[in-house]
Chains A and B, each alone.
Chain A
Amino acid sequence: MAVGTSQTEGPSGAPSPASAGEHGTASGETLHMQLWRGDKDGGQFVEYQVPAQEGEVVLDVVHRIQASHAPDLAVRWNCKAGKCGSCSAEINGVPALMCMTRMSTLDTASPITVSPMRTFPVLRDLVTDVSFNFEVAKLIPSFTPAPPPPGGYRMQQVDVERGQEFRKCIECFLCQNVCHVIRDHEENKAHYAGPRFFVRLAELEMHPLDTLDRRAYVRERMGVGYCNITKCCTEVCPEGIHITDNAIIPLKERVVDSRYDPVAWLGRKILRRPAPMTAAEAAAHTSAATRGVSDAAR
């Protein structure tokens, strides 16, 4: 069960980290931290009061609570440097990395809520089951280069730069978390890869050495048509990847042209997958699911 459907959802009207501006956490002040505690069967926000300390990020405060009040508080983290993408959560309802959100950017006069990502089933407290993403990763037809010419591969810097932007992805899955196609529609997970994997597919499509044509597969199995370019994913990406403009839109353009590509047929033969969804079906799903205008029927 997604956290949001249990009794207490993060107050959606709470100020976002970004809009709250600099507040400064004066030492001596008391922080009112409301952490979501629970598991798949439900849970609630529990308030912990801890003294403010200078220069902390949200993850530090969570760790202090863990060390002093709640040794069994579950939280996932690794690098504490914004590099591994483990510590994704929703802070005052806004998806962000806990290790890169400074307390001084939050309004500490009011309680601060920290809840797990809503799109993924909660395991315990702030930790969610993100296995969906690892399953999708297995479905991506892998990089398939031509054999190297004598003297090795040559690529120009301009040609690798496009792919390099996409390869900055730290797999925090925040973009997956905000994408309404799966955030509000669990059932879409069966046929929708989500923005993280559109980034990956765009990277492969634009890789100077790759030879495989994945276009029909992208359209039919990866469900790129569901995306209606709301750009929510781009807004939360901690790596600043232009997910929609640089990955999804070009991918959609390529996919449209690919409908009768014979290589796609080969791809279909190689890759076992469920019955493809038609563009019309996709459009129906998408418009039902969203606020924006769907371009899926193009």
Chain B
Amino acid sequence: MPSISTSAGEIPLHEYDVIVIGAGGAGMRAAVEAIDKGCTTALICKSLLGKAHTVMAEGGVAAALGNVWPQDNWQVHFRDTMRGGKMLNNWRMAQIHAQEAPDRVLELEAWGALFDRTPDGRILQRDFGGHRYARLAHVGDRTGLEMIRTTQQRAVALGVDVYMECKIVRLLKNADGAVNGAVGFWRESGDFVAFSAKSVVLATGGVGKTWKFTSNSWECTGDGQALALWAGADAIEMECVQFHPTGMVWPMSARGLLVTEGVRGDGGVLKNSNGERFMFDYISPYFAAETADTIDEADHWYDDKVNYRRPPELLPRDEVARAINSEVKAGRGSPHGGVFLDIASRRSADFIKRRLPSMYHQFKQLADVDITTDPMEIGPTCHYIMGGVRVDADTEQTAVPGLFAAGEVAGGMHGANRLGGNSLSDLLVFGRRAGLAAAERAKGTPVDTSLEAGQVNEVVTHALSFLERDGGGTQPYDLHHDLQETMQALVGIIRTESELLEAKEKLVELGERAKKASAPGSRRFNPGWHMALDLESMLTVANCTTIAALARKESRGGHTREDYPNPDPELEKVNYVCRYRDGEYTVTPEAKPEMPSELRQLFEEEEASGGEAVAATKEGDN
């Protein structure tokens, strides 16, 4: 086997047409496509195969199949997506997504997925927030697991080469400035490994672990966003982070864990410590027309959605999260710093257990709370990053030749706020397209895939420095803790200039300390060392989110500025683009691609018809 010499000795080199970094829904789908197109393909992931964060997705995958509502079609899905994203989305991505999602879902079925069925034997679709029609194909409350398993089994059947528990530390570039490889290490042995490829697909997922309270899993440390930025790519909308209103707040160990919106959809209400349904006090004028303003009216909605307006508990996610935040700040929170989500007093125990089995189980097992008799304590939790690596809508090619990105790591598709269910479909649609474009590049014009030993050596030496630094330096765990505290407190749901500036300063200091972090112990499965390297990525994300949040002087979707509480119509046309140049993070406003008039018309038609789409909108999550 070929190898490269470095200060850590000879390291093996694996040569492929395409390497895919990340084995969540997006990475698996990309790998399947690349193999299908005849490329030698490696799938690399930092946990075991089949454990990626995608397994946690519950509610479903959005696709306008029209199985439940024949009126549904891609135009309606497109419009819902753009409206949900507060029009900040890349219109072309939203269009492709809406057009192709149905085929991608049906394809899963042909690979063995077993979705829930309609009475006439087709794929059942469920209602979800922001989607005008019942649109989410699902498997109970474990749709993500179904998607992972299906794509995993497909990739294995096609004979993909999997490198698991292998963390990529840096991307490599050739003399033409194209990405042509990557260096990583095996978590188990600590031994380094290099890959060369004609195309590299990033599918590394989200960034949640940068915040203290998150619904995200261990691996969501923003590695892909950082790898791309360091390699010279652009990132957009990094300020748009989605805080889901209902995460568990107690016990501490479960803090952040998602509580599905289904609880509210099925009758659960939010109460403060005085027992008041406070959401009635937070109905913004924008939604007043379609929201019930009395308890009586709200309670009738569950049975008669035509004649009654929806309860304010089902307002959009950002609205509910902000309301909860205000109640807690005003001293009306629950004992552990959240508010109460009560379904026990409103529905029978049987109903709750039947409709919300996993929530019943989750609270029973982790909090020892019986949700059929007691209220839950909940509060906002960091859930998803809308922003990410800027890509070409059709090919998922980044600003750097040879580098593609798909899934949560990519930006543009969801604008300022993501609708529930639109992520799983995003993974499939753009995972496939990234795999396809990567394969086309690999099969097309020749690419210089020779790796430069000096670059590889630099990466290895840098990575090892954390192990070699004895004592003195800060512990990576302590740094992670400080970073999470900083981001939670200063770059959370509600932002303001002074706090963002404070965060920016703290991040400089944390960055300095992180450079000197030390992780004692051996190279073999050493989590302290892994953390030191994950921290570099999280710090990159934290810096970009902070500077982009400072730059966007308005409130829109997942970005709320206390000092600029309203949206600025001009900023709907602007992306804040983050870059990493000469050791500095920069942010630049740039004009977004403009929507063609035939698509713009869809929104005008809607306004003409009285905006009934908004009225049919119900908030969802996941």
Residues on A facing B (Cβ under 8 Å): 39, 53-57, 59-60, 66-67, 71-86, 100, 102, 104, 123-125, 127, 129-130, 134, 137-138, 142-143, 145, 148, 152-157, 160, 163-164, 167-171, 204, 207, 209-210
Residue B139 at the chain A interface, CB threshold 8 Å = yes
Please give me the residue from chain A that is nearest to B162 by CB atom. Answer: A134
- Check B521–A102 contact: CB distance below 8 A: no
Whole-angstrom distance from the CB of B473 to the nearest CB of chain A? 12
Specify which of A100, A153, A210 is in contact with B109 (CB 8 Å cutoff): A153
- Check B121–A155 contact: CB distance below 8 A: yes
- Check B47–A127 contact: CB distance below 8 A: no
Docked Cα-Cα span, A67 to B478, in Å, equals 8
Q: Which residues of B contact A73 (CB under 8 A)?
A: 527
Residue B142 at the chain A interface, CB threshold 8 Å = yes
Please give me the residue from chain A that is nearest to B111 by CB atom. Answer: A143
Please give me the residue from chain A that is nearest to B165 by CB atom. Answer: A76
Docked Cα-Cα span, A72 to B217, in Å, equals 20
**Given known A83-B145, A160-B114, A164-B139, contact A74–B526 (CB-CB < 8 A):** yes
Whole-angstrom distance from the CB of B371 to the nearest CB of chain A? 16
Please give me the residue from chain B that is nearest to A134 by CB atom. Answer: B49
Specify which of A71, A100, A127 is in contact with B520 (CB 8 Å cutoff): A71
Specify which of A54, A84, A104, A145 is in contact with B55 (CB 8 Å cutoff): A84
- Check B116–A160 contact: CB distance below 8 A: yes
- Check A142–B106 contact: CB distance below 8 A: no
Residue B365 at the chain A interface, CB threshold 8 Å = yes
Residue interface mask B23-47, A partner, CB < 8 A = 1? 0000000000000000000000001
Docked Cα-Cα span, A71 to B111, in Å, equals 42
- Check A84–B51 contact: CB distance below 8 A: yes
Whole-angstrom distance from the CB of B361 to the nearest CB of chain A? 9
**Given known A74-B526, A79-B56, A143-B153, contact A168–B142 (CB-CB < 8 A):** yes
Interface-central residue, A100, A156, A167, by most chain B CB under 10 Å: A167
Docked Cα-Cα span, A74 to B530, in Å, equals 11
Docked Cα-Cα span, A153 to B149, in Å, equals 20
Residue B522 at the chain A interface, CB threshold 8 Å = yes
Please give me the residue from chain B that is nearest to A210 by CB atom. Answer: B112
- Check B145–A168 contact: CB distance below 8 A: yes
- Check B156–A100 contact: CB distance below 8 A: no
**Given known A66-B477, A143-B111, A168-B142, contact A83–B527 (CB-CB < 8 A):** no
Whole-angstrom distance from the CB of A112 to the nearest CB of chain B? 16
Docked Cα-Cα span, A79 to B366, in Å, equals 14
Specify which of B111, B121, B253 is in contact with A154 (CB 8 Å cutoff): B121
- Check A102–B114 contact: CB distance below 8 A: no
- Check B253–A57 contact: CB distance below 8 A: yes
> What is the total of A-B residue contacts with beta carbons within 8 Å?
163
- Check A102–B366 contact: CB distance below 8 A: yes
Interface-central residue, B251, B367, B519, by most chain A CB under 10 Å: B251
Docked Cα-Cα span, A154 to B124, in Å, equals 11
Interface residue count on the B side (C-beta < 8 Å): 63
- Check A55–B367 contact: CB distance below 8 A: yes
Q: Which residues of B contact A56 (CB under 8 A)?
A: 251-253
Docked Cα-Cα span, A124 to B526, in Å, equals 9
Residue B188 at the chain A interface, CB threshold 8 Å = yes
Between-chain CB contacts (< 8 Å), 9 pairs:
A55-B366, A60-B252, A80-B257, A129-B188, A137-B153, A145-B110, A167-B145, A167-B146, A207-B112
Residue B604 at the chain A interface, CB threshold 8 Å = no
- Check A72–B47 contact: CB distance below 8 A: no
Q: Which residues of B contact A163 (CB under 8 A)?
A: 114
- Check B112–A60 contact: CB distance below 8 A: no
Whole-angstrom distance from the CB of B353 to the nearest CB of chain A? 14
**Given known A66-B527, A153-B109, contact A72–B56 (CB-CB < 8 A):** no
- Check A127–B525 contact: CB distance below 8 A: yes
Which 8 residue pairs across A and B have the least CB separation, nearest first? A55-B251, A72-B521, A154-B121, A71-B528, A142-B157, A143-B112, A74-B525, A67-B477
**Given known A72-B522, A157-B116, contact A54–B528 (CB-CB < 8 A):** no
- Check B139–A167 contact: CB distance below 8 A: yes
Residue interface mask B52-68, A partner, CB < 8 A = 1? 01011000000000000
Residue interface mask B137-171, A partner, CB < 8 A = 1? 00110100110010001101100001010000000
Task: Scan residues 215-256 of chain B and give those whose CB is less than 8 A from a CB of chain A.
Answer: 217-219, 250-254
Q: Which residues of A contact B257 (CB under 8 A)?
A: 80-81
- Check A72–B153 contact: CB distance below 8 A: no
Please give me the residue from chain A that is nearest to B361 by CB atom. Answer: A82
Whole-angstrom distance from the CB of B52 to the nearest CB of chain A? 8
Docked Cα-Cα span, A168 to B56, in Å, equals 12
Please give me the residue from chain A that is nearest to B528 by CB atom. Answer: A71
- Check B524–A39 contact: CB distance below 8 A: yes
Please give me the residue from chain A that is nearest to B54 by CB atom. Answer: A84
Docked Cα-Cα span, A224 to B157, in Å, equals 22
Residue B304 at the chain A interface, CB threshold 8 Å = no
Residue B50 at the chain A interface, CB threshold 8 Å = yes
Q: Which residues of A contact B218 (CB under 8 A)?
A: 77-80
Docked Cα-Cα span, A99 to B367, in Å, equals 13
Residue B475 at the chain A interface, CB threshold 8 Å = yes
Docked Cα-Cα span, A142 to B157, in Å, equals 6
**Given known A54-B251, A56-B251, contact A157–B117 (CB-CB < 8 A):** yes
- Check B156–A137 contact: CB distance below 8 A: yes
Residue B120 at the chain A interface, CB threshold 8 Å = yes
- Check A152–B114 contact: CB distance below 8 A: no
Interface-central residue, B111, B366, B476, B519, by most chain A CB under 10 Å: B366
Specify which of A123, A137, A145, A168 is in contact with B188 (CB 8 Å cutoff): A123
- Check B252–A54 contact: CB distance below 8 A: yes
- Check A55–B250 contact: CB distance below 8 A: yes
Whole-angstrom distance from the CB of A142 to the nearest CB of chain B? 4
Residue interface mask B120-133, A partner, CB < 8 A = 1? 11101000000000
Docked Cα-Cα span, A161 to B53, in Å, equals 25
Q: Which residues of B contact A57 (CB under 8 A)?
A: 253-254, 366
Docked Cα-Cα span, A148 to B103, in Å, equals 13
- Check B121–A79 contact: CB distance below 8 A: no
Whole-angstrom distance from the CB of A50 to the nearest CB of chain B? 14
Q: Which residues of A contact B595 (CB under 8 A)?
A: none
**Given known A72-B520, A170-B145, contact A164–B251 (CB-CB < 8 A):** no
- Check A60–B219 contact: CB distance below 8 A: no
Task: Scan residues 243-295 of chain B and give those whose CB is less than 8 A from a CB of chain A.
Answer: 250-254, 257
**Given known A74-B525, A84-B56, contact A156–B145 (CB-CB < 8 A):** no
Specify which of A84, A157, A171, A209 is in contact with B217 (CB 8 Å cutoff): A84
Whole-angstrom distance from the CB of B253 to the nearest CB of chain A? 4
Docked Cα-Cα span, A157 to B153, in Å, equals 23
